[in-house]
Structure 1
Amino acid sequence: MSSEVLQAAALIYLLMIAAFFLHKIRPLHVAIMGGAMLFDLLVPFYLYMHRDWYGQLVTHEGGADFILWCHWALLMTLYILYALQAKSGVALAKVAAADDKNSLALRAEHHLQARGVLLVRLFVILTGWAVFDPQFVLR
């Protein structure tokens, strides 16, 4: 990753933490979390268009790096969590006014998924940093 992408990812991560705690302000919460998901979905396209992946992965044999494969696995986990989070968020929005058991169960599910998203996204940023700057791991 480029350093600008890492900085943007770290800033958006801080915004996600703020939105996690400001869940009662739904429009702000949904806007920040949705924007973060969109950012994470578009970053691979940006990196594909602006990096020499053939030179980095094939010529320099970077494709066999363990940290790179960890990063990819974490990204796939993050995307799956995003899909589950969006699904439970939409279901929660449909029953937002009700305080029945279904609503409480959806809230608990959404909250646990959000914790997972924040944890996995932190590790995605750290492994992305390690892929960008291998000396980061060795320090």
Structure 2
Amino acid sequence: MKKDEVPQDKGNLSNKNMKELVYATDEKGNYTTALSTGWEPKTIALSNSIEEISERIAIAKAQVENNEVSPICYYMEFCRMDIGVLSSYVGMWQWRVKRHFKPRVFARLSDSILEKYAESFNITIEELKNFKTN
């Protein structure tokens, strides 16, 4: 896209008086940078993905409240992780992390394992053990 055609739509950044750095071509066809306040398709896609993440967090919260899954599942969603990312942070196989989603298995986890999860979620072991639904 040419530098003078960089979109300046109202986006997530325009409310904060910020601009995004994007690549464009100048009049000679060379790549250069330009500032953009937003681009409507990108804003829509970002809003949709944030909405989906919020829904997944709410579902995980309800499942913890109903004792269907452990708090590990909620914090994984809240921290925008998936099984692969979380398992790499805690240094365990994915099947083992999934197993820790079961409330009965979670209740028997040692503090050393819980510490790995707590560190990954940037919370304390007590916060992980005593999940509060605010």
Higher helix share: 1
Higher strand share: 2
Normalising by structure 2, what TM-score? 0.26
- Larger RCO: Structure 1 or Structure 2 (Cα < 8 Å, ≥ 6 residues apart)? 1
